[in-house]
Amino acid sequence: MNQSETGSTWNLRLYIAGQTPKSMRALDNLRRICEEHLAGQYTIEVVDLLVNPRLAKEDQIIAIPTLVRKLPDPIRKIIGDLSDSERTLVGLQLRKSGN
């Protein structure tokens, strides 16, 4: 959806299971957060497990929605509708986790 610029590109994959309200919320939240913190440096891929069920086992997805940061390394998994922005950022390692 967004073109990458020079610099590290974030590769994000959002797993959903059908276009449920939760999943749509997650997508919206994700776009917002990415725009805010990773403008121009990210790609979002949406994987619908109802369309591609095999990926659930392959990628070890249990919860929906699950956001996986594929790049940069290491892989990070975040579950939920991303309404908790703080946690999302911590999960994405865009922010250090507070104590």
Q: How far is the CB of 76 from another protein (least distance, A)?
A: 7
Does the footprint of another protein cover residue 26 (CB under 8 A)?
yes
The amino acid at 11 = N
Phi, psi of 14 (to 5 degrees): -110, 125
Does the footprint of another protein cover residue 39 (CB under 8 A)?
no
- Encode 33-72: b = buried (16+ Cβ within 10 Å), e = exposed: bbeebbeeebbbebbebeeeeeebeebebeebbbbbbeee
Q: How far is the CB of 69 from another protein (least distance, A)?
A: 10
5 vs 59 by CB, closer to another protein: 59
CB-based contacts of 54-59 (< 8 A; 24+ apart in sequence) = 55/15, 56/15, 59/15
Q: How far is the CB of 27 from another protein (least distance, A)?
A: 13
Window contacting another protein (CB under 8 A); options: 1-9, 19-27, 34-42? 19-27
Does the footprint of another protein cover residue 71 (CB under 8 A)?
no
4 vs 60 by CB, closer to another protein: 60
